[in-house]
Structure 1
Amino acid sequence: MAKKVKQQAVSLKVPQSHDETVEYIAEVGRLQRERERIQAAMNDEIAAIKQRYEEQAQPIGQDIKQLSEGVQIWCEANRAQLTNNGKVKFAQLASGKINWRMRPPKVSLRGKEAIIDACKQLGLTQFIRTVDDINKEAMLADQDKATKIQGVSITQVEDFVITPYETELEEVA
């Protein structure tokens, strides 16, 4: 028995002449421009909505910033108590967790050519890449020597983070 093959009917508009093809192409162009107008109108509305909500959120963001700065000041003043004399870098409070994080150290350079010359004169070629560029990774690995070079400073910044506890409402059936 032969297999039945089902095919979905194709409902395409196919031009039947040269003139009809020209008309179809013109219609495609008109439809593309119409779609672009719709997209532009959508983007205008999205921009207005975004601006409205950003304006509403701006004072709240300022309040969060002020409260966070106040919490940080209090926590810094009470850091020894909160961190068990520096044994930990966080504290669990009733409403959330605070912690201090050290960012990785970073090398800052002023006067790159002078630093390269200084490294060569001091015999610290491990701080120079073969393309005559400063090897910041090597400076981070040997910070004591690197900071003796004029123009080199190594800084590290500590971030203060507040993580409020959050819960979700339970759905009751």
Structure 2
Amino acid sequence: MAQKTRLKSDTVRYTTREEVEVAIKEVGDLQRELQRIATHQNDELAAITEKYAPQIAELQERIKPLQKAIEVWCEANRAELTNNGKTKTGSFNTGEVQWRQRPPSVLIRKAEDVLERLRQLGLSRFIRSKDEPNKEAMLAEPDIAATVTGITIKKGVEDFVITPFEQGV
């Protein structure tokens, strides 16, 4: 197996405070340029989307009645197309149609009311209770929480953030 080539990025080393200040300004300048380009890109994408939206909408509207008419005809001729229900697909020279059964789903309105009714009816098997560690409580009492095997309280994690001052945009 051939050895992979490692690519290392150039590391710049600064020796004075002034060099770091110049570099921070450069980071800010580059971030603003990046933002300008991203904004310009989004403007162009929006213009392209707006340009093609009417054509797309018109084509979608032309497709809808064709789909409905095909569905009506196929429903009327479903037995013939599916070999009396032996298949779920009807084949044509130009394509096929399919009937697919969606999996069962549950729709719940007013979940609190439903939970109460399930409890009243003794149908607790339809109620899920979820036990999970309470991290907020552990952070409120980190010394006690840290005594439990498997719990580690991270403290003092430090991020290095460069925030260039705004220059003229």
Aligned to 1:34: 33
Amino acid at match of 1:128: F
- Deviation, 1:118, is 5.4
Aligned to 2:21: 22
Q: Does 1:98 align with 2:71?
A: no
Choose between structure 1 and 2: higher strand proportion.
1
Using a 3 Å threshold, how does the CA distance of structure 1 residues 26 and 93 change in structure 2: closer, same or farther? same
For 1:11 and 1:80, locate their aligned partners in 2 and report how far apart those are by CA, in whole Å. Answer: 70
Amino acid at match of 1:77: A
TM, length-normalised to structure 1: 0.57
Per-residue CA deviation, residues 14-72 of structure 1 (Å, 9 max, x unaligned), is 55543333223212211211121111111111111122223221111111122111100
Aligned to 2:114: 112
Aligned to 1:129: 127
Give aligned-pair identity as a percent.
Answer: 37
Per-residue CA deviation, residues 48-105 of structure 1 (Å, 9 max, x unaligned), is 1122223221111111122111100111111122122222211111110101000112
For 2:41 and 2:98, locate their aligned partners in 1 and report how far apart those are by CA, in whole Å. Answer: 43
Amino acid at match of 2:127: R
Q: Contact 2:81–2:89 at 8 Å: present in 1 too? A: yes
Aligned to 1:82: 81
Q: Which has the higher contact order (CA 8 A, sep 6+)?
A: 2
RMSD of the alignment, in Å? 2.8
SS in 2 for 1:40: helix
Structure 1 gaps of 5+ residues are 1-9, 132-173
Report the more deviating stretch, 19-28 or 97-106.
Answer: 19-28
Using a 3 Å threshold, how does the CA distance of structure 1 residues 118 and 97 change in structure 2: closer, same or farther? farther
